[in-house]
A and B are shown apart, each in its own frame.
Chain A
Amino acid sequence: MSERDKIDMKSGEHRETADPSREEQLSLLLTITMEVAAASDLASALDVVLRRVCEKTGWVLGLAWVPNQDRTVLECGPVCFCCGEGGLTKFRVASEGSHFRPGVGLPGRVWELKRPAWIEDVTQDPNFPRTKAAAKVGLKAAVGIPILSGDEVIAVIEFFVQESRAKNERLVKVIAAVAAQLGLVMERKRAEEKLSSTNEILESILSSMGDAVIVADKEGKFLAFNPAAERMFGKGAAQTASREWSHQYGLYLPDKVTPFPPDQLPLTRSIRGEEVNNVEIFVRHDEAPQGLWTRINGRPLRGPNGELSGGVIVCRDITEIKKEEFFLFDQSRVLEMIAANASLAEVLTSLVLLMEAQADGLRCSILVLNQDGKHVRHGAAPNLPAAYVKAVDGAPIGPRNGSCGTAMYLRRQVVVKDVLTDPLWADYRKLAEICGLRAAIERQRVQETLRERDARINLAAESADLAFWVIYPEQNTAWMSDKGRKMYGFDSKLPLTRDLICGRVHPDERAAVHAAFDRACASHGLFESEHRLILPYGKTRWVIVRGRCLEDEHGSLLELIGVTIDVSAQKQSELQLQIQREEMSHLNRVALMGEMTASVAHELNQPLTAIANNASAARRFLERGNIDPVLLQQLLQDMVADSQRAGEVIRGIRALVRKDKTVVRSALNLNAVIADTLRLVSSDIVLRESVVVTEMDHSLPQVEAVPVQIQQVLLNLIMNALDAVESRPPAERRILISTRSLNGESAEVSVRDFGTGLPQDRPDKVFDHFFSTKQTGMGMGLTIVRSIIETHGGKISAENAPDRGARFFFHLPAARGDSKSQAA
């Protein structure tokens, strides 16, 4: 160690002659620094350093050393530079075959000490294993410089010259500075490599994922297109313009035929910066002629500064889920057909198609037991050859008569694994062979009687969430599907009657249900009712019941068949909604009160002031002892009148703010309601320096309405109008309220302001929830207004008036039997 250190520390300024000048050194530093900074990787950076140092300093050989993978030895490479005679190559080859442990040789020494080392003459150095090779080619002086990345030596460079030289501090500093630059390049390079290994991990995830992942840059160039994507879309990433994608990859709207609009594609949208959620696309191409359903989510990609740089989409194959959905949809369609009393053939055909859609190659047929109870009849087999249909139609049932005939005979499910070998199919084997049938699963649910209609009801009852029932009035018996027994809370064994079924109806509605039954039976007509059921344990259900009467061939009543639908959940949410509506409406009225503070305070203050003044006047007159009894009388009368006036104001406010459970409609004269309402807000109108002009049609018919609610409508419209004109100069703060009779059939009220007007594109938007242009508004007022008008059977609209401002107008139907009577 001491020996080496001694050599390192030796300096010989006097032997500098062959070294570059200070200026040259600076220029060297600058050149190398720039080139190194521009280098794309470590090898090229090392190459630059070795080459430039040799060129500028006259050193003849430059070698680079890097630690091996487990950092036990230094190895020569990846680059070197030598100039001058070819003899140097021998030394280079000797170096390339060498490995140095830390501390061994010049490279090992530099590696261990992490600082430059200078040898004046390698042939004299005790720790220079390559002495012989160096001596052969005449190399003498050598310098080694570490390249540090952080605290770690990532490479060592060494330079040789064929003469002995003392240590040149400046040169060492210059090269060390260059080496520092190299270290930076190395760090960058490592980060890149790390990134590329991260990329590899991502790559492997992407390639093993079941979901398709596609990444594109902002020009729509694909950056990633994983194998699942290639499978899903039939081909890989082809670089075409994004508007071609729909065509190229067979992307369609859910109707399966309209090509997906290119600018609406999830990837295109995500590249535009949108977040795309759950878009369904139907994909059909040569590899998937049946097509498949995909559900796609997309996200934009952003650069480090948040700028858009592309988009990524993840696509999931949801074909199976869709099949399920379609199955449910078709199932409910079949039920609808039954409810609509479609013909048996139509219903059965739909059922067969529904079943066949469940698996490729599945063929179904439905056979129905003939009225004689001994033969099968063709029901539906839309995809089986006519020969098959013909052969089975009219076949007898029996213990070994095909799967269907056997099922009917045995009254249980029969499963045949292979029709070509199963004994049940012995008689039909030839037929099956012709038709290419192998497995048959045929079901037959057995009922008391297997007449057509019962079969039909049961098929539906099986899969439906509905209760099916039949009432036989003659026998006073009834049948109900299992679902129905559950819904009505009947034990599955209990023999049913109409009275039992009606006994479940809520007592309040029972008489009406009985009457409806009787009416339907008498007229052989339809039965429809919405009522509550009370179940044995006190549970209540809301149900809708629909039924119809069936007659026999002589036209006499055979039975009453029908369905019961449980609508409790629906009812519950309707009730909830109703309560919410009332709450909102009430909140709106309270909020209106808040806005009308001026009017409320003023309306109360006036009579209170008058009372107080009259009272103190009376006291003073009495004190002075000269009161005129007539004056006193007047004083007291006025006080009573003013108290009543204050009471009216309070009553008015309470009526408006009260949560009214019972809303009673009465015949109203809208002109009078408008006048009352204006009185209520008169102070606010004055305070806001606005003018309200009224034009009343005195032939206006009366309407049937809840007074407080109509007042609420008017208050909302008037307060809005006041807000709308607020920004206008006082002279223009006008509001026009007019009424007119529409042929005596309905009454129209119009509230028009001269303010800023409504949104140009869609004036009706103001009726939407939470639409508000006001800072303090809840955005509920007009929504509530509309709902009030609509519950009264009326209609409200909004428009921009031709010159300026907005106009709201609503009409309510004339009170029944009152359309001719005219309001005063």
Chain B
Amino acid sequence: MTSSEKSDAEIVCLVDDDLSVLKSIERLLASDGLSVRGFNKPKEFLSHVQAHSVPVAILDIWMEEMSGLELRAQLSGLSPGTRVIIITGREDPVAKLTALQMGVVGFFTKPFDDDQFLHAVRGALAMHPIE
């Protein structure tokens, strides 16, 4: 779903180590007309961030390589302007609290409501123009 015609400022990045979940969220975003770039491995995403500006990143929490919260911490050093939405497969109040304290703009427990999710992503994209 990556789109070379669109500028980085319009592309939403998505990181989830579960391929089928990754693919399905990519499609959901695309079906609503959003451009998306999916990453199966957190590290690949981190190297992408170093070369591109990322307006919005959607991160899964429980990944084998690195947790989404850890990824969020590293990301804020590399790209402080990126708005982060967290998705998780597990009800976890502590993780939610931590995430919100880290300043994420959305927190969704899978499976989530598509309208609310897309609304949150659009909201995040519209929040600030990228620097």
Contact = CB atoms under 8 A, between A and B. Distances in A.
Contact of A610 (B23, B31, B32, B67): B23
Interface of B: 18, 20-21, 23-25, 27-28, 30-33, 62-64, 67, 89-91, 110-112, 114
Contact of A642 (B20, B33, B62, B67): B20
B24 A613 contact: yes
Contacts of B110: 605-606, 608-609
B32 A620 contact: yes
A605 B31 contact: no
Contacts of A645: 20
A601 interface: yes
20 contacts: A602-B89, A602-B90, A606-B18, A606-B21, A606-B89, A606-B110, A609-B89, A609-B112, A612-B112, A613-B27, A613-B114, A614-B27, A616-B31, A616-B114, A617-B30, A620-B114, A638-B23, A682-B64, A687-B90, A689-B67
B31 A609 contact: no
Given A606-B89, A609-B112, A616 B28 contact: yes
A613 B28 contact: yes
Nearest to B18: A606
A683 interface: yes
A512 interface: no
Contacts of B111: 605, 608-609, 611-613
A617 B27 contact: yes
A616 B91 CA distance: 22
A635 B89 contact: no
A158 B87 CA distance: 102
A635 B27 contact: yes
- The B interface, classified by DSSP as helix, strand, loop or mixed, is loop
Leading 9 A-B pairs by shortest Cβ distance:
A613-B24, A620-B31, A616-B114, A617-B27, A609-B110, A617-B31, A610-B24, A609-B111, A605-B89
A499 B24 CA distance: 75
A526 interface: no
Task: Report the interface size class on chain A.
Answer: 20 to 34
A641 B20 CA distance: 9
Contacts of B28: 613-614, 616-617, 620
A687 B89 CA distance: 11
A733 B95 CA distance: 20
B59 to A, nearest CB: 14
A174 to B, nearest CB: 80
- The A interface, classified by DSSP as helix, strand, loop or mixed, is helix
A624 B89 contact: no
A73 interface: no
Given A598-B90, A619-B31, 8 more contacts: A613-B27, A617-B27, A617-B28, A617-B31, A620-B28, A631-B27, A642-B20, A686-B63
B21 A609 contact: yes
Contacts of A687: 62, 90
A611 B64 CA distance: 22
A308 interface: no
Contact of A686 (B21, B32, B62): B62
B89 A613 contact: no
A689 B18 CA distance: 18
Contacts of A607: 20
A498 to B, nearest CB: 71
A613 B23 CA distance: 9
A621 interface: yes
Interface string A583-623: 00000000000000010011001111111111011111100
Interface string A672-695: 000000000011001101000000
A570 B41 CA distance: 61
Among A614, A624, A645, which residue has the most Cβ atoms of chain B within 10 A? A614
A613 to B, nearest CB: 4
